Chain A
Amino acid sequence: DGGITQSPKYLFRKEGQNVTLSCEQNLNHDAMYWYRQDPGQGLRLIYYSQIVNDFQKGDIAEGYSVSREKKESFPLTVTSAQKNPTAFYLCASSFDAGIHRTSGANVLTFGAGSRLTVL
């Protein structure tokens, strides 16, 4: 079955440590995204990538880094510079990043999420 796999599902980190969240998709999607969700709030965009070896900052990129070396993979590193990293992190993908407004190409498929807690 095609889908998006995020790991780990739960992660605990000590302050000052970097941590990397994995996101893998086998949907043959070009675009991939990372969103952060805090309790009772909406999804805020961290980074997105429209194509391999290219990515753009979202609204809250500070303290995060990403790479897109393969089409299937878009890992997110939460660095020690992120002041409040405890949150639910959601990875998503789409066929493209919204170029074709009348098609379903920018419909997002989400992974199950990774819940990060900083101790």
Chain B
Amino acid sequence: GQQVMQIPQYQHVQEGEDFTTYCNSSTTLSNIQWYKQRPGGHPVFLIQLVKSGEVKKQKRLTFQFGEAKKNSSLHITATQTTDVGTYFCAGRPAGRRALTFGSGTRLQVQP
């Protein structure tokens, strides 16, 4: 079954508001990746986190990897309409070669 869970499933915000999506795994992950899928498109890689407690930033996006390497978060500051899409986390549980994707969080931004 699904080993990587994401919440919330959907979030609707006003432009300028902040947004956060959370990713939780039942097992320790060797690394965590984040992807963005625009409506009608395909997932595109955003970032990879490897170290326990790691924090990375990309402009208005902040990514964190938990100390236990079982959870991660993506925070967007001051959302814009270009942020619309579904954000997926993906991790590789121990003993597994291929990535397992979370269920995704769909972000809608109202102008």
Contact = CB atoms under 8 A, between A and B. Distances in A.
Interface of B: 2, 6, 9, 30-31, 33, 35, 41-45, 48, 50, 88, 90, 92, 97-104, 106
Contacts of B100: 45
A93 B35 CA distance: 14
Contacts of B6: 42
B106 A108 contact: no
Contacts of B50: 101-102
B43 A110 contact: yes
- Report whether over half of chain A's contact residues are helix, strand or loop; otherwise say mixed: loop
Given A98-B92, A101-B30, A108 B97 contact: no
Nearest to B89: A42
B97 A104 contact: no
A85 interface: no
| A-B pairs, 9 with minimum CB distance | A42-B103, A43-B101, A97-B97, A110-B42, A101-B30, A48-B98, A42-B101, A42-B104, A98-B92
